[in-house]
Structures are given as C-alpha cells and as structure tokens.
Amino acid sequence: MPAEAALSSDAPILLREDSEGIARLTLNRPRQYNALSADLMSALQAALDEIAEDNQVRAVIIEGAGRGFCAGHDLKELRGRSGDREFYQAIFRQCSQLMVSITGLPQPVIAKVHGIATAAGCQLVATCDLAVADDAAHFGTPGVNIGLFCSTPMVALSRAVPRKQAMEMLLTGDTIAAAEAVNLGLINRAVPAETLEEATLELTRKVVSKSPLTLKIGKEAFYRQIEYGLVEAYAYTAQVMTTNMLARDAEEGIDAFIEKRKPQWEGR
C-alpha cells in the first residue's frame, strides 16, 4: 500500500497485503499520523499473532499511510484521564507486549519509514529488525517537550543506538534526520523518497530468499545472546549452531554451495 494513498475514513485501521512471501502491514490512521491508539495496537498485535503461525509468510514490512510513518501514542486518547492509573498501565503494557512480539516473531520485520517516526513510532522503528527510510524522514523521542519522558521508547532506542546519542534524543526531545539515523544504527539505509518502495522491497526480497528455518533460528539467537555475557553468549550460540547444522536446510545449503547451484529450501 503506497504511503501517499488517500484512504477513506471507514477503511480498516490496519491493512494487510501478502505477496511473494511478504506480509505488508500498513498503519492506516493517516489523519492522526498513524498514532498508536489502543485499537490500532490491538489490530497490529492480532496480525502479528496470525503471521507467527503462517508458514507462507517469510518476512513482514510495516509502513504507514499518509504523510508519516507513526507519530507515537494517540495523545487525544491519553489525555483527560487524571487518576486513571489502570488505563495508563494497560496502554503501556499493551504497547510493550506489541514490541516484544515483533522481536519474538519468527519472521524478520522491516520498517519502511517516511515522514516522521516519533515517540512510540521511533520505538517501533528501533524494534523492527531492519529499517529503510526516505532521506527526508525524521526520528525522535520528543516526550520530554510535553512533560512525558519517552520511557518505554527508551528501551528500544537504547538497544539500537549508542548510549550518549540515545540520551541526547531523550533529554532534548530533538529529532534527527535520516542520514544521522543511519550513522547511529537506528535505520539501515536512507534513500530518496522516489526509491523508498524499491529499496525496501529489494532488501526484503534478499531476506526472503534465505532459508526460513535459518532466519527463525538466527533471529531468536540474536536477541537472546545480545543480553548474555561473553562466555554465556558463546556457550549458547555454540548450541544454536549445532542445532542449525543438523537441519535439512543447512545440509542443502552446503551442498548447493559446493555444487555451485541455487539451494532449494525446505524450511526444516
């Protein structure tokens, strides 16, 4: 779904389109810059839960309709609930679980970013496994500007970019341009707006061409080992590689490499 497409007010708040083994999820609240309302988060969670069990899906692209990727939480939904601790706990728990689900999804998730990705929208980008943005996109955690520190976005941001740069974004509320986001490691690449679709699909198709079992094993191992100490990480990944080596796809991949042919993945 093109980011610039005009979408009617009665359209679903999340669109899904599957093609070539890729599930494309479009946040579809363009008038609100795709702010993460409770309903939108529920729709995205449900879609991810379905995709996790769908062997036909090899990768996921998340993008936003309209003028920007995602402006974070829906502030209109959050305001005017003074004293309602249970509501706020539920909202932030829901968002946190959504991010954990993306990390735990067997398939790689690629963010396709245009316009702005701020607060929980920046968190979403930082949480995705890969990210491609147009070179005019901006990223930030501006909650401090309105008296609401971006504490949950900080979790993903601080795991994606160096500590001092993460703290500067969080403490000042300033946004950074796409080129700086690349340098910090928040996104993989920034491209001209007119090539964003092509660049995102090129990267996603490259991922999809790999063994789905190998991608699943590798993604899970990456996020687990990164939290371990050095010795524990090596012990864990040695076991992962042993399991991977015993898989049919590893055997096929090695045979194909030696025989100089394209591998035929079986996903086992």
Residue pair 266/249 in contact by the 8 Å Cβ criterion: yes
The percentage of residues in the chain with a pLDDT greater than 70, rounded to a whole number, is 97
All structural domains of the chain: 14-208 (3.90.226.10), 212-259 (1.10.12.10)
List, in order, residues 6 or more apart from 56 with CB less than 8 Å away.
18, 21
Give the pLDDT score at 81.
80
Banded model confidence at residue 80, pLDDT cuts 50, 70, 90: confident
Mind listing the pLDDT tens digit for each residue in 159-191? 999 999 999 999 999 999 999 999 999 999 999
Q: φ and ψ at 14, to 5 degrees?
A: -135, 130
For residue 109, give Cα distances in angstroms to 65, 80, 124, 167, 203: 18, 35, 10, 26, 11
Asked if the model's pLDDT at residue 5 lies above 90, the reply is no
Give the pLDDT score at 6.
43
Give the pLDDT score at 1.
43
| Mean pLDDT computed over 202-225 | 97
Mind listing the pLDDT tens digit for each residue in 105-114? 999 999 999 9
Asked if the model's pLDDT at residue 4 lies above 60, the reply is no
Give the pLDDT score at 201.
98
Q: How far apart are CA 12 and CA 27, in angstroms?
A: 9
Asked if the model's pLDDT at residue 197 lies above 80, the reply is yes
Mind listing the pLDDT tens digit for each residue in 94-103? 999 999 999 9
Asked if the model's pLDDT at residue 139 lies above 90, the reply is yes
Residue pair 188/203 in contact by the 8 Å Cβ criterion: yes
* E-assigned strand segments in the chain: 14-19, 22-27, 59-64, 109-113, 116-118, 130-134, 138-140, 175-177, 189-191
Mind listing the pLDDT tens digit for each residue in 39-72? 999 999 999 999 999 999 999 999 999 999 999 9
Asked if the model's pLDDT at residue 15 lies above 90, the reply is yes
Asked if the model's pLDDT at residue 9 lies above 70, the reply is no
SS3 148: coil
Give the pLDDT score at 2.
45
Q: How far apart are CA 153 and CA 170, in angstroms?
A: 9
Q: How far apart are CA 135 and CA 183, in angstroms?
A: 13
Give the pLDDT score at 11.
87
Residue among 63, 68, 93 at smallest CA distance from 1: 63
Residue pair 135/190 in contact by the 8 Å Cβ criterion: yes
User: What distance lies between CA 208 and its chain's CA centroid?
Assistant: 16
SS3 115: coil
